Structure 1
Amino acid sequence: MSKKIVSTEMDLSSVLAFEMPIFKALRRLQQAGEVHAKRLSRFGGLTPMQLMILQVLAGEARLTASDLSGRVSLTAATLSGMIDRLEERNLLHRQRDDQDRRRQWLLISDAGRELLKQAPSLLPPEFNKHFAELAEWERYQLTATLLRAAELCAEVE
């Protein structure tokens, strides 16, 4: 048996020791996210992703759907449906580019800006409270760790 195969088998068996606690932690995060999503839906009937879309658009003069999909980590097809629903509610609108009529810009509407002024945080209040109590280096470390975990999950797809 080659050293490469033995090394991979050892690495895999050592990873399995972490499987259950990592899965439990991911599940707890998922459950907390679902509970907060229900709270958010009571506010203006928005999903967390719809709120995130409006927040990203509020921070930009205008974005194309392609640029927005990358910023909010959604496929073009999923984003298209969300944009349609937000446009139906007059929270954003589309504008054709003057130079290139094939390009459409997405812009947040005045109603969307007003809604954002009253909108709750994307994260549960308890999380924000505890997160704020962490030392700055811990906030950076936790953020980096969650981003890295998301990258690891994305590589599996």
Structure 2
Amino acid sequence: MTDKIVSTEIDLSSVVALDLPIFQALRRLQQAGEVHAKRLARFGGLTPMQLMILQVLAGEARLTASDLSGRVSLTAATLSGMLDRLEERGLLQRQRDDQDRRRQWLLLSEAGRELVQQAPTLLPPEFRQRLAVLKEWERHSLTAALLRAAELCGEME
């Protein structure tokens, strides 16, 4: 009797043809993001990441930096610098926990809350309008595909 040897090698040849179109699509998304980031910067000098941080905080009563880090896909070190800048601008506050002084809560300030309410959307308006025209299943499918693509990229910042 002979045992079958199972190959653990991955055959990448089937995806090589997709390299260029996928990269081109990612580049177009990146360019659109950069253009929209410039629009956001004109509004209150915010980067898209700063606005996302404020929006996540607006949806929560309070969060720790560790929890926020996971929600916005940033390392603790990168997030820390952004939080410092947002705090300096008076858009968020840090508050020590009464029971555990090691824990620090992040809270959106009133100025931060007002800014979030007035801020443009994270996605470019043209994209949102075109997305709204799609059927619901297409919107969900597109979202799922983008989330899966991001997952395939692995731990990236």
Tell me the TM-score normalized by structure 1. 0.93
Cα deviation, residue 154, structure 1: 1.2
Structure 2 Cα separation of the partners of residues 56 and 35 of structure 1? 22
Matching residue of 1:43? 43
Q: Is the alpha carbon distance of 1:35 and 1:88 closer, same or farther for their aligned partners in structure 2, counting shifts above 3 Å?
A: same
- Equivalent positions of 1:97-136 (< 5 A) are 97-136=97-136
Structure 2 Cα separation of the partners of residues 118 and 148 of structure 1? 31
Structure 1 Cα separation of the partners of residues 78 and 34 of structure 2? 19
Q: Is the alpha carbon distance of 1:118 and 1:149 closer, same or farther for their aligned partners in structure 2, counting shifts above 3 Å?
A: same
SS in structure 2 of the partner of residue 154 of structure 1: coil
Structure 2 Cα separation of the partners of residues 72 and 152 of structure 1? 17
SS in structure 2 of the partner of residue 85 of structure 1: helix
Cα deviation, residue 155, structure 1: 5.8
> What is the letter of the counterpart of residue 132 of structure 1?
A
> What is the letter of the counterpart of residue 72 of structure 2?
V
In structure 2, the gaps of 5 or more residues are: none
After TM superposition, where is structure 1 displaced by more than 3 Å over at least 4 residues in a row?
Answer: none
Matching residue of 2:73? 73
Structure 1 Cα separation of the partners of residues 36 and 136 of structure 2? 25
Tell me the TM-score normalized by structure 2. 0.93
Matching residue of 1:22? 22
1:35-88 CA deviation, whole Å, 9 max, x = no partner? 100110000000000000000000000000000000000000000000000000
Structure 1 Cα separation of the partners of residues 23 and 61 of structure 2? 40
Matching residue of 1:4? 7
Matching residue of 1:60? 60
- Equivalent positions of 1:86-101 (< 5 A) are 86-101=86-101
Q: Is the alpha carbon distance of 1:23 and 1:107 closer, same or farther for their aligned partners in structure 2, counting shifts above 3 Å?
A: same
- Confirm whether residue 147 of structure 1 aligns to residue 133 of structure 2: no
SS in structure 2 of the partner of residue 4 of structure 1: coil
1:77-129 CA deviation, whole Å, 9 max, x = no partner? 00000000000000000000000001000000000011111100000000000
- The structure carrying a bigger helix percent of its residues is 1
CA RMSD of aligned residues (A): 1.6
The number of residues matched between the two structures is 153
Structure 1 Cα separation of the partners of residues 6 and 92 of structure 2? 57
